[in-house]
């Protein structure tokens, strides 16, 4: 069981790596979006200044500026959702591997303990194995709950994305 602490450390490092990569990806998306938005605003203001009357300016703002801004927000949100979804999938896999490794270590430990039990302790071994089997079922419940939690998070991300897509304005020409 000396490998267990190292496995836990490795899993913790992997989870930290996923979190850091997600944070870096989000920071990169934020920086790129801010630059693109600044360029877009500068272009739109320049175009707006060319308008000769208020109605033309209003029509331009309504037809171009607001709809382009909505599209940019949707694109930004989709990029963020993709990063979150990807990170969630990696974290789910790391958690699944940790649970399987812990389960394997526990099975190995119990097998060693029961195989080396002294003669005459069969009744205790039987009770112990029954308890152990219950513990294995609990492992499976924890694993299933964890999988449900990650799946629920992913569905929430998709719902937000779908809701945003449904509310997006369509450009009329």
* pLDDT confidence of residue 2: 53
Give the mean pLDDT of 87-116: 83
Q: For position 34, what pLDDT does the model report?
A: 86
How big is the CA angle at 98 (ends 83 and 136), to the nearest 5 degrees?
130
Q: What is the pLDDT of residue 168?
A: 55
Confidence of residue 144 (pLDDT cuts 50, 70, 90): confident
Asked if residue 60 lies in contact with residue 51, where contact means CB atoms within 8 angstroms, the answer is yes
E strand spans, the chain: none
The answer to whether residues 60 and 47 touch, using CB atoms and an 8 Å cutoff, is yes
Portion of the chain with pLDDT greater than 70, in percent: 91
Residue-wise pLDDT tens digits, 40-95:
888 878 877 787 777 777 777 777 777 777 788 788 888 888 888 888 888 888 88
Q: Distance between CA 28 and CA 84 in Å, rounded?
A: 14
Burial of 98 (0-12, 13-18, 19+ CB in 10 A): buried
Between 21 and 173, name the one with better pLDDT. 21
In this predicted structure, what is the pLDDT of residue 164?
Answer: 63
pLDDT at 24: 92
Count CA atoms within 13 Å of residue 70 on its CB side. Answer: 15
pLDDT above 60 for 169: no
């Amino acid at each position: 069981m000396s490998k267990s602490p190292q496995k836990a450390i490795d899993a913790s490092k992997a989870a930290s790596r996923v979190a850091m990569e997600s944070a870096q990806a989000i920071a990169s998306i934020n920086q790129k979006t801010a630059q693109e938005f600044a360029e877009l605003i500068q272009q739109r203001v320049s175009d707006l200044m060319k308008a000769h009357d208020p109605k033309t300016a209003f029509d331009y703002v309504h037809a171009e500026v607001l709809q382009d801004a909505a599209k940019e927000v949707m694109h930004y949100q989709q990029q963020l959702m993709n990063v979150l979804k990807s990170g969630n999938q990696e974290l789910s896999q790391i958690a699944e591997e940790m649970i399987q490794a812990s389960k394997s270590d526990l099975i190995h430990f119990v097998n060693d303990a029961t195989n080396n039990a002294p003669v005459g302790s069969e009744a205790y071994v039987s009770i112990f194995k029954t308890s152990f089997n219950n513990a294995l079922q609990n492992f499976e419940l924890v694993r299933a709950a964890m999988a449900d939690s990650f799946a629920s998070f992913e569905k929430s991300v998709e719902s937000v994305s779908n809701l945003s897509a449904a509310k997006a304005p369509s450009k009329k020409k």
